[in-house]
């Protein structure tokens, strides 16, 4: 676990990154389920979830850039 946290000043940043990755995977699963079932609303919701996760990830990268 220590190796995973190397380079992070707090676990909060790591927690956020893991949460964003989980959100992106969830969005991909929703999109795939929507495609498979022909549910365009579910597919769009999955794409939106992925977009939100991508924006959060970009925010984390900006914070990391200012940390050092």
List pLDDT tens digits, range 7-50: 445 555 788 889 999 999 999 999 999 999 999 999 999 999 99
| pLDDT at residue 63 in the model | 87
Query: Which of the two residues, 6 and 52, has the higher pLDDT score?
Result: 52
Q: Is the pLDDT of residue 58 over 70?
A: yes
Q: Are 2 and 11 in contact (CB under 8 A)?
A: no
| pLDDT at residue 3 in the model | 47
- Contacts of residues 45-54 at CB distance under 8 Å and 24 or more positions apart, as own/partner, are 49/23, 49/24, 50/24, 51/27, 52/23, 52/27, 53/20, 53/21, 53/23, 53/24, 53/27, 54/24
Q: Are 48 and 15 in contact (CB under 8 A)?
A: no
């Amino acid at each position: 676990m220590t190796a995973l946290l190397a380079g992070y000043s707090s676990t909060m940043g790591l927690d956020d990154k893991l949460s964003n990755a989980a959100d992106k995977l969830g969005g991909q699963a929703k999109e795939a389920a929507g495609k498979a079932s022909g549910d365009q609303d579910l597919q769009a919701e999955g794409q939106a979830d992925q977009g939100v996760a991508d924006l959060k990830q970009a925010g984390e990268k900006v914070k990391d850039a200012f940390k050092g």
